Every structure is written in C-alpha cells, then in structure tokens.
Copies of this chain bind each other. A is one copy, B any other.
Amino acid sequence: MAKKKFPLFNRIALIGVGLIGSSLARAIKKHELSRELAVATRRRSTLAVARKLKLGDSYHLKAAQAVKAADLVILCAPLGANAELAKQIGPNLKTGAIVSDVGSSKVSVIKDVTPHLPEGVILIPAHPIAGTENSGPEAGFDTLFEKRWCVLTPSEEAALPAVNKIKRFWQALGSRVEIMDPKQHDQVLAITSHLPHLIAYTLVDTATELERDLKKDVIRFSAGGFRDFTRIAASDPTMWRDVFLSNREAVLDILGRFTEDLTALQRAIRRGDGNLLHNRFTRTRKIRREVIDAKQAGTEPWRRGK
C-alpha cells in the first residue's frame, strides 16, 4: 500500500513499445513505479496493439504529447530515431524531468539527444543488457530485466539525485546497476554483443547463398553450433542496423582485430600448423573459466535460458 501511495515517479512516458518498451511498461505496472504511464509509438497499428495489451494509461501517436508533465521519459525506439525524437519532445519537457533510454550504444545517444534538451532537464542514458531474438509489443514480458545488468552512463555533471533515482528504478525492476563511462561501455558492448551479432548475421547469410541441397542439409544438421547462430541472427533488423551505425567506430575497431586473428588461424589451417591452432584453442579455455567464475560470484544467473 505504501508503495502504491508513493511511487518513484508521477508520470513516466515510454516512447516506443517494442520488446524492451513493452517489457518496461509491464514491469513498471507490476512494481507500481509510476502513478501514470503514457506510451507513445508513431505507428497506428502498433499503438492499437499496445492499447489491446493494456500497456499504459494513455496512448499517443505523437511523442511530444506523451511527454507533457512526465517526470521520466524513456526513449525505447531504435537508436536511429533518437535525434528526431529528442527534437520533437524537447519543447514539451518539464523542468526537472529526467530523460533516459535503453539503447545498446551510449556515445551516440548523448550526442543525438543532448542538443535538444532544454535547461533543467537531465539526461541519464541507460542500457539494460537484456533481450530475446523476438521483437514487437507482444514479445515483451515483465521479468525481462530481472537479474540482468543495467549500465548507466551519466555525464559527470549529472545531478546525483537523478542518477540515484534511475538506479533505484532499475533495481526495482530486478536489475543489477553499474555506472560506466559511455565510451568504455561502447567498446565493451562492441565485443560482447555487437560483434557476435554481426558474425552470426554473416554466417547465417553465407549459408543462405549455398546450393539448395547443401542448404537443406545445413538446416537439418544445424545442431553442431550453427543453430545457436541462427537464433542470434533472427534479432530485429532495424534495431541492429541502428546499433552498427551508431557504434560504428568501436565495432570497426574490434572487427579489425577479429579479422586479423581469423586470418592468422586461416593461415595456420592452410599450412597445417597444428601447434599454433592447439595453443590458441588452449588459451581460450581460460576465458570460459573466468566467465563461469564471474557468474558464480553473482549468486544467480542473469541470463534467461533459451
């Protein structure tokens, strides 16, 4: 009851109701984190689905309408839409409001959004490291963020009370919150998420071009590793297009290193250099051990099984 009387926010506006936005809507309601929840999406058909799913208290085709009087605005559209959205909502943001987001790259969000924010509005970029290969408002669920990391990348000038409020918000959704430098975040995610997605998309795309009978067998015998890649390569195309364009620099950097290392292994295979292969394959086992240890250190797994 006390929770109900003093929610963290008076009015939250969610701009975008895809997998992440609709999961946020459900989780905010479940944990009663706002008196009022406004949801916005520019597509009429998507808004109708949001309404049918009862995701919010009010429904808007115009983001600028949804953010009026909101004390928290969360941008949940693909990264490429941020600049335009910020421009639209800027004039309607109330003093003291916090603007946040859920994007997979953070330097670009700061660059795209900051110029459009009026004085007295605080940007606290956020990235919940959570998701599935499904997309759209119907794919969301209210436990998506439980036991997952949420990385915040506030500027050094950001007011501490606002940072703490967003931190409490994500903790209330069950997340483990970490504060990081935006550039460091982008480099880390380029390796842990963006490059793996790019590789998976590429490998599956390579398979689509195979001769018909070979492709049929590849699909039948996909259990040897390929199947995991197809799951990753089924992720939302628009979201991922924007991730690669937004985090271009860090992705190209790590991709360059990856390609060099792959070329070295290719050369070893061609020359029959078994020692080099064995050495590389041995040292990668250590990393697996560290990943397992890191997971054990944190009492519970923060990743949903497939």
Contacts and interface: CB of A to CB of B under 8 A. Distances in A.
A280 interface: yes
A285 B222 contact: no
Interface in A218-241: 218-235, 237-238, 240-241
Interface of A, secondary structure class, is helix
B261 A151 contact: no
Given A202-B261, A259-B262, A226 B196 contact: yes
B294 A269 contact: no
A288 B231 contact: yes
A284 B214 contact: no
Contacts of A148: 223
A203 B190 CA distance: 12
A227 B274 contact: no
Contacts of A251: 269
Contact of A294 (B213, B220, B261): B220
Interface residues of A, number: 94
Report copies per complex. Answer: 2
A84 to B, nearest CB: 15
A57 interface: no
Given A233-B285, A252-B269, A277-B241, A192 B218 contact: yes
Interface of A: 80, 129, 133, 148-149, 151, 178, 180, 184, 187-189, 191-193, 195-210, 213-214, 217-235, 237-238, 240-242, 244-245, 248, 251-252, 254-255, 257-259, 261-262, 265-266, 269-270, 272, 274, 277-278, 280-291, 294, 302-303, 305-306
Given A178-B220, A196-B203, A237-B282, 17 more contacts: A129-B223, A191-B207, A191-B214, A192-B221, A192-B227, A195-B203, A198-B262, A200-B225, A202-B261, A206-B254, A222-B294, A233-B287, A234-B284, A234-B288, A237-B281, A259-B259, A259-B266
